[in-house]
Structure 1
Amino acid sequence: MQATQSVNKGMLEKIFKLSEHNTNVKTEIIAGITTFMTMAYILVVNANILSDAGMDKSAVFAATAISAFIGCCVMGLLANYPIALAPGMGLNAFFAYTVVLGMGYSWQFALCAVLIEGLIFIVLTITNVREKIIDCIPPVLKHAVTAGIGLFIAFIGLSNSGIVVNGATIVALGNLTDPLVLLTIFGLILASILLAKNVKGAFLLAMITISSVGMIGGLVALPTGIVSAVPSLKPVFLQALSVPVNQIFSFDMIVVVFTFLFVDLFDTVGCLVGVASKGNMLDENGKLPKVKQALFADAIATTSGALLGTSTVTSYVESAAGIGDGGRTGLTAVTTGTLFLLSLFFAPIFTAIPTQATSPVLILVGVMMASSLTKIDFSDFTNAIPAFLTFAMMPLSYSIADGIIFGIISFTILKIATKKKEEINFSLIILSILFICKFIFLSK
């Protein structure tokens, strides 16, 4: 038995280079579980959103789980990064409410657009276009992206838990006497103490404790069971290939594909840069090693997801939760992916994790990522203003992509206006022009 365990550990060490990254199997698995628990909500949420477009809910649940498994495993094995992938929020809403319900196209048309997007991303990755976009972003904006994603994650946690709500002043403090809000606050205090005491697996322990307390106290629902039947993919499988040729080569298809491409590209860029920075994965030049492999994982996951029957698969900012729990290699991502696959068999358990358990973790991940602000030179306004717009616009516009856009445009304009052209490159100018055109011609 011990010999088998030693062989397995040796194999994992060889594949993921654990000691080189100052980590071990236990830490990586705990980190993978933590990441999964913070993003398991997508299993139900994605199925609910795409079912509004007329898709079979159970089939989408299965497609979500399998596409996440594929994306996480490719990321872990190809890039050896602790970054998990799953169908992205926002892109699934655009899929259902804009393309299908708004523009009146079938969900098969929308799946075809996602498939085309994935194939284009594979080409752009092979030709290093996506890699060059990441490399051309200046270090100050990379730090701002990290902080912005932290603020974005924290805002999601605060909003999901009811600590902040919609109000007369855009956002307002929620009802702090609500038992569910109190449960979240208790969880935030508990997770903070465990984190401050450097307890291994602090986030995972906190989420398990909060879930247990909520269920025992009758505040959140108990799992409806343990094992469930595996849903069939048949209603949505390969439906992306059923679209008539005249629709594939239509102008509307071009617009839809471009929108998917644009949002996914810069959401992924932002996530990779921000999360990698938090995990100290950037090199001395501020570049992400193996970025091409990471982008391949995203492209392959999106393409396979479309064939399986789900919207765009992308890197998840919640991966920072696993990194916060010590995840440093692809074993974290593979663990997360494996749990997504297991969710097909144990859906009642995995979907019973309440937002009150995940929200405190997201808030504290925001705290950890905000440390990147200390690396920004606020005495130089040509750096300070773009950096501020980058990290402020992410939570306020509820979009990582929009934060990056505002940062790049303002950085380029200010550097040119103050005759600091040596600090910008031609790629940055081209991106700024494209972003401005996007706002002019594609914004409603």
Structure 2
Amino acid sequence: MSNGSVNEGFLEKTFRLRENKTDVKTEVLAGITTFMTMAYILSVNPLILGDAGMDKGGVFTATALSAVIGTLIMALYANYPFALAPGMGLNAFFAYSVVIVMGHSWQFALTAVFLEGIVFIVLSLFGVREAIFNAIPMNLKKAVSVGIGLFIACIGLSNVGIIQQGEGVILSLGNLGERPALLAIIGLIIMGVLLAKKVKGALLIGIIVTTLIGIPMGVTEPITKIVQLPPSLKPVAFQFVWSEIFTKDMFVVLFTFLFVDVFDTIGTLVGVSSKAKMLDKDGKLPKVKQALFADAVGTVAGACLGTSTVTTYVESASGVAEGGRTGLTSFTTACLFALALIFSPIFIAVPGAATAPALILVGLFMMSPIKEIDLDDFTEAIPAFLTIIMMPLAYSIAEGIVFGMVSYVVLKLLTGKWKDISIVMFILSILFVVKFFI
């Protein structure tokens, strides 16, 4: 038997490709695409946490390794095509709120992240996060997918300046003559043509071609060296402080980390799995406990290594859009994060203008569940609409879910449809309302 046959047999047994109606080529391409759309975290996370006083080199290594650990657990334990890495938003809260505004040390913030991960492991083992996932009604699950699509598109458009914060308005059109915006538009056209012609790997091909076009435009940074040994973890790893773990400030910081991460992760899993048609007839994700466990362990490992909260990445939708359906997709992504430790100059050279068009088009792909939302029953339609619209406007998956769930409970109660409300939904909505006023 050839090595190729043995390898394919191993991959089939491990990831059950035929059962999920996919193949090795599709999964690998999807994994590469996911990595390309989220590789920016390797350069952005060290910059943000560097503002908190952390060693940027150490944070780079911690970012890559924590992504490898979390994503490998997702691949091999849950067999889902979702990738993990230190989350945007959570790293900003870490650096700018906890350290700079509240005046705590980055070691204090890192300790809060570690404790958050421990709490998440406990919640995952007892099925609490799984119960929250399953409590979200099917219409809201579909709305989360659509809302995440708009949110991703908004990220892509704003990252290259196609849209920007306006003077006297919420958003305005940016300067399309700027080179990053112009390159992103070129990339959008290239990917659009490839998709229209049904070219396999259209998003990945588009990212590569756009990156190359960016060289003469001066957007893609020239690569001066290929291989670079990763910086040491010593300045940031295991830098915990235990003297303040029972203080009020630690409780507030820990609760905020928990709240944002729980609903960002659940929202991402709901939205991407809904788009990939992984939910069963009751709207449940068969291995949601394993998926949530992966991000809990990733957070603990990330804190030990020296980085902020690890979470499931919404950019995983780009891999799903390319056909990724199993853990082989996320396994490929994890391998690329490992390679990035050595070949970081290559991966970091890919400009945001090359990945932005992919994010914008993934926004389109994520819109399809809107056709299945019940828009005739206003107790279903209004919460779904608020979920969709608040994600990009509040720039938060978590806040979109909060608006959707609270409005769902209120409308159902006031119209006599209280039987549609689960106990978990009711309790969560009360907690959300309380959170708004404290």
Name the TM tier (shorter chain): over 0.9
Measure, in 2, the Cα distance between the counterparts of 1:211 and 1:96.
30
CA distance in 2, matches of 1:179, 1:132: 47
Give the aligned residue type for 2:141: K
Distance in 1, matches of 2:306 and 2:179, equals 38
Cα distance between partner residues in 2 of 1:216 and 1:331:
35
- Residue 102 of structure 1, CA deviation: 1.2
Distance apart, 1:224 and its partner CA: 3.1
Any idea what SS the aligned residue of 1:317 has?
A: coil
Residue identity matched to 2:415: T
Superposition deviation, residue 192 in structure 1: 1.1
TM score, norm. by length of structure 2: 0.98
Q: CA deviation at 1:17?
A: 0.4
Q: Secondary structure at the match of 2:171?
A: strand
Tell me which amino acid in the other structure corresponds to 1:214.
Answer: G
Amino acid at match of 1:413: V
Residue 230 of structure 1 aligns to a residue whose secondary structure is coil
The answer to whether residue 154 in structure 2 is matched with residue 155 in structure 1 is: yes
Shift in Å at residue 276 of structure 1?
0.6
Where structure 1 has 5 or more consecutive residues not aligned to the other structure, the ranges are none
Question: Where do 1:12-411 residues align within 5 Å?
Answer: 12-168=11-167, 169-240=169-240, 243-245=241-243, 247-411=244-408
Instruction: Tell me the CA shift for residue 178 of structure 1.
Output: 2.4
Offset of 1:244 from its aligned partner? 3.4
Distance in 2, matches of 1:224 and 1:327, equals: 33
Deviations 1:90-149 (A, max 9, x none): 000010111111111111111110010000000001100000000010011101100000
- Say if 2:111 and 2:242, in contact at 8 Å, map to a contact too: no
Q: CA deviation at 1:15?
A: 0.2
Contact 2:219 2:351 in 1 (8 A): no
User: What do you get for the CA RMSD once the two structures are aligned?
Assistant: 1.0
| One-letter identity of the residue aligned with 2:162 | I
- Measured after TM superposition, the shift of residue 180 of structure 1 is 2.5
3-state DSSP of counterpart to 1:101: helix
> What residue in structure 2 maps to residue 418 of structure 1?
415
SS at match of 1:231: coil
| 1:177 Cα offset (Å) | 2.3
2:280 and 2:377 map into 1 onto residues whose CA distance is 24
The whole-number CA distance in structure 2 between the counterparts of 1:222 and 1:189 is 24
Q: Could you tell me how far 1:221 is from its partner in structure 2?
A: 1.5
1:22–1:257 distance in 2 versus 1, CA, 3 Å:
same
3-state SS, counterpart of residue 386 of structure 1: helix
- Structure 1 CA distance for aligned equivalents of residues 305 and 79 of structure 2: 25
Partner letter of residue 244 of structure 1?
W
Quote the Cα distance in structure 2 between the aligned partners of 1:224 and 1:289: 46
Residue type of the alignment partner of 2:77:
L
Compute the displacement of 1:384 (Å).
Answer: 1.1
- Of 67-76 and 369-378, more deviation after overlay is shown by 369-378
Distance in structure 2 (CA, Å) of the matches to 1:388 and 1:170 = 19
What is the rounded CA distance, in whole Å, between the counterparts of 2:224 and 2:356 in structure 1? Answer: 22
User: C-alpha displacement at 1:166, in angstroms?
Assistant: 1.5
Q: AA paired with 2:236? A: V
- Which sections of structure 2, spanning at least 5 residues, go unmatched? none
Aligned to 1:432: 429
Q: What whole-Å deviation, never above 9, does each CA across 1:296-336 have from its counterpart, x for those lacking one? A: 10100001100010000000000000111111100110111
Q: Matches of 2:181 and 2:84 in 1, distance apart?
A: 29
Q: How many residues align?
A: 437
C-alpha distance in 2, partners of 1:181/1:244? Answer: 46
Q: Which amino acid counterpart does residue 201 of structure 1 have in structure 2? A: G
CA distance in 2, matches of 1:153, 1:217: 25
Q: Deviations over 1:246-290 (max 9, x none)?
A: x01111111111110000000000000001111111111111110
User: What's the TM-score once normalised by structure 1's chain length?
Assistant: 0.97
Q: Secondary structure at the match of 1:337?
A: helix
1:3 aligns with 2:17: no
Give me the whole-angstrom Cα distance separating, in 1, the residues matched to 2:199 and 2:188: 15
Q: Distance in 2 between matches of 1:202 and 1:399?
A: 28
